[in-house]
Amino acid sequence: MMLSNGKTGLLPRLAVNSIRRNSAVYLPYIGVCIFAIFTFFVYGMILNSDVTETLPRAGYATMLLLIGQVLLGLIMIPFLVYANSFLLKGRKKELGLYSILGMGKKHICRMMFYETILIFLMVLAGAIVLGLLFYRLLFLLLLNLAGLPVNITFQFSGAAFLETILFAGFVMLLQLAMNLYQVWKANPVDLMSESGKGERKLRFTGLWCLLGLLATGYGYWTALSAKLDSNIFTNFFVAVFCVVMGTHFLVTSGSIMLLNFLKQRHGFYYRSENFITISGMLYRMKKNAAGLANICIFSTMVIITAVCTVSLYLGLPGLIRYRYPGQIQAQFLDRGENSFRERDLFREEAEALAGQTGVRISDYRGGFLGEEGTAPGEERNLSGEEGTVPGEEGTVSREGENVPGEKADLPGEEGIASGESEVVEPRVYLIEVNPEGDEEAVKEFSGQLQQLFSAGEGFLSYMDYGEAILEDKSMYGGLLFVGITFGMIFLICLLIIMYYKQIAEGFEDRRNFDVFKKVGMDEAEVQETIKRQIRLVFYLPLTGAFLHTLAGMHMVIVLLGSIHLYDQGIMIGAAAVICVLYAFVYVFCYRRTAKAYYRIVRHSGN
């Protein structure tokens, strides 16, 4: 099968036929590549859009999207390289056969180059088409979550298109370089035999198991002892790194140690139902344990990302109310018992202003700061709030400063004498108003309300936090968008790993099926044995993911506390529901991917 220069046109046809013949492994890989590049393209379209630059309060959302795009690249590049390794592993026997039949390594490498070009064009075309179809929908989702204007005109970004081409090209060239290196250094016999090899086995399993226990334990301890301080984000990444490394070492080494321990228990091991299961499990774990570790890690990432996203979505109204109990806050100095007879008039006039400007007042509260009981005629007392409202600067502080209004806190006010010896300390009266309606109408209402309040007796300050509230909603909306897209990415990565693992083990277990039949087991017994092994193998990562989530919930609660989300009930409830839902999704996906495994195994001996 020596190829002359005149027959090199055969190589592109071989590349096309190879992709078509191995569609069971190529199509899922091409699909996940399309989704990854599509997401990267959408992020780029939003970031490079002229519309984004002109939107008010889009700064936080833009910053988060930029961070998300960088993280997307850092996550997807190693994952796509990992997925590509499954493709090459399944094709090494075919490439070895080409070599034995006379095709030189130069021609094999050229054929693989054509394959890469073809896949690159398919992936890029699919990603761009999907991006153009769904870009507007995803952009509208971001705008809605971020509370930004949605009546805008969408534009195509040439810069985003170029960035996407460069990103996709870099990924494909990196994979091609790794594939060419492996083919070039191997001889035909190695290629023929290596396709049946599993993942590289670790030596010194006892040492690696110990390191896995230490790393996981330290990661758990870091998560469980986390505090809301300046080191919280550093501790988060340390905990994630330790748990990831510990999971890898424990699954690849600890599982083998456990199975070897059971194998040494002769009374347990040499039972018919245990002998085949344990020996088969030992074979599987030695060859494919790294894939299980990745399934466990991606499962944890899916659950944690979903918990954070759902908790933020459900807790956002309470979070905004905590940071800004009233959008509009006005302070007055009370010098005596009768000085606030006009406060009821304030409310009446405020409601009249709201009617004139087309605004609805959803909440109007007033009370004295730092006193128990309810202010007369008002809905609630403002005493007991976390922190106070300083009168001198006209800004709200919720960090626990002392309540203003003491004699030393109000310049020039040392109390009012009553008689000869009694001194009445001045008090600060706070009014909080939450208007609702069109943004421009609310601004007009706020301007007129400020004029009304500033003419009142004892007026100290007036603050409108409307712009700050909208900026916070923009930032949190950006977080929600990034969380939703990354949760989808992690889930798809997980499905691809599960699928490829079933495919790889299916081809490896073909021979085992025949051996089991030859030793006297009927097909029903063989299938039941293999089902038991698969269930044990694929439920192990799910159990590990739940343990990681349980250990990490305290750090999740602390991290969300850094953005002033303190409702632990929402977080714990979200975690419980998501774990249950994820278990159903995981089992469903396992059963769907297991069908591919059984189709391969049932063709044994054919």
Indicate whether 452 and 500 sit together in one domain: no
pTM above 0.75, yes or no: no
Cβ–Cβ under 8 Å, residues 367 and 383: yes
Q: Is the pLDDT of residue 303 over 70?
A: yes
| Per-residue model confidence (pLDDT) at position 222 | 93
Q: Percent of the chain beyond pLDDT 90?
A: 14
Give the residue from 147, 168, 197 where a domain finishes. Answer: 197
Which residue type sits at 365?
Answer: R
> Does one domain contain both 27 and 164?
yes
Mean pLDDT score across all residues of the chain: 76
Last-in-domain residue among 197, 228, 244: 197
| SS3 call for 55 | coil
Between the ranges 80-89, 512-521, 568-577, where is the mean pLDDT highest? 568-577
Instruction: Check whether residue 407 and residue 487 sit in a common domain.
Output: no
Overall average pLDDT of the 570-590 stretch: 90
CA distance 598 to 531: 9
Cα(15)–Cα(20) distance, rounded to whole angstroms? 9
Domain shared by 471 and 455, yes or no? no
Cα-Cα-Cα-Cα dihedral sign, residues 60, 61, 63, 64: positive
Q: Are residues 173 and 190 in the same domain?
A: yes
**In whole angstroms, what separates CA 460 from the centre of its chain?**
45
Q: What are phi and psi of 447, to 5 degrees?
A: -65, -40
pLDDT class of 391 with cuts at 50, 70, 90? very low
% of the chain residues with pLDDT over 70: 72
What does the pLDDT average to over 60-80?
80
> Going along 327-425, which residue ranges are E strands?
328-334, 360-368, 416-418, 422-424
Asked if 441 and 274 count as a contact pair (C-beta separation under 8 A), the reply is no
pLDDT at 402: 35
Contact in structure between 444 and 350 (CB atoms under 8 Å): no
Q: How far is CA 3 from CA 9, 114, 596, in A?
A: 10, 16, 36
Q: 420 pLDDT band (50/70/90 cuts)?
A: very low
Tell whether the model's pLDDT for residue 593 goes beyond 50: yes
Residues 458 and 475 in one domain: no
Residues 568, 442: one domain?
A: no
459: enclosing H helix or E strand: strand 459-464
Query: In the predicted model, is pLDDT for residue 219 greater than 50?
Result: yes
Last residue of a domain, one of 154, 173, 197: 197
Cα dist from 486 to 132, 176, 583, whole Å: 20, 26, 19
Domain that holds residue 129: 1-197
Count of residues making up the chain? 606
- Contact, 30 vs 508, CB < 8 A? no
What is the predicted pLDDT for the residue at 419?
A: 45
pLDDT in tens, 154-179: 677 888 899 999 999 999 999 889 88
H helices present in 55-185, as ranges: 59-100, 105-146, 158-185
Positive/negative CA dihedral, 59, 72, 246, 548: positive
Instruction: Return the higher-pLDDT residue of 362 and 379.
Output: 362
Residue 408 has a pLDDT of: 38
Quote the number of domains for the chain.
3
Distance in angstroms (rounded) separating the CA atoms of residues 478 and 470:
12
Residue 214, pLDDT > 90, answer yes
Q: Within this chain, do residues 295 and 432 fall inside the same structural domain, yes or no?
A: no
Shared-domain flag, residues 510 and 435 = no
In whole angstroms, give the CA distance from residue 393 to residue 259: 68
DSSP-derived letter for residue 5 is G
Q: List C-alpha distances in Å: 515 to 110, 161, 496.
A: 39, 54, 30
Place of tokens 């930029």: 66
* One domain for residues 392 and 444: yes
Give dist(CA 5, CA 534) in Å, integer.
49
Question: For residue 46, with 0-12 CB atoms within 10 Å meaning exposed, 13-18 middle and 19 or more buried, which class applies?
Answer: buried
Is 90 exceeded by the pLDDT of residue 553?
yes
The label of the residue with tokens 């699928």 reads: 499
Greater confidence (368 vs 288) lies with 368
Residues 155 and 33 in one domain: yes
pLDDT at 319 over 60: yes
Helix (H, G, I), strand (E, B) or coil at 399: coil
Q: First vs last Cα of the chain: how many Å apart? A: 27
Assign 472 a pLDDT band (cuts: 50, 70, 90): confident
Which range is most confident: 49-58, 89-98, 326-335? Answer: 326-335
CA torsion, ordered 435, 438, 439, 440, to nearest 10 deg: -110
598: left (phi over 0), alpha (psi -120 to 50) or beta: alpha
**Amino acid in the structure at residue 334:** D
Burial of 553-564, coded b for 16+ CB within 10 Å and e otherwise, reads bbbbbbbbbebe
553 and 405 assigned to the same domain: no
Q: Do residues 405 and 428 lie in contact, with contact meaning Cβ atoms separated by under 8 Å?
A: yes
For the stretch 478-514, pLDDT in tens is 888 888 888 888 888 888 888 777 777 776 666 666 6
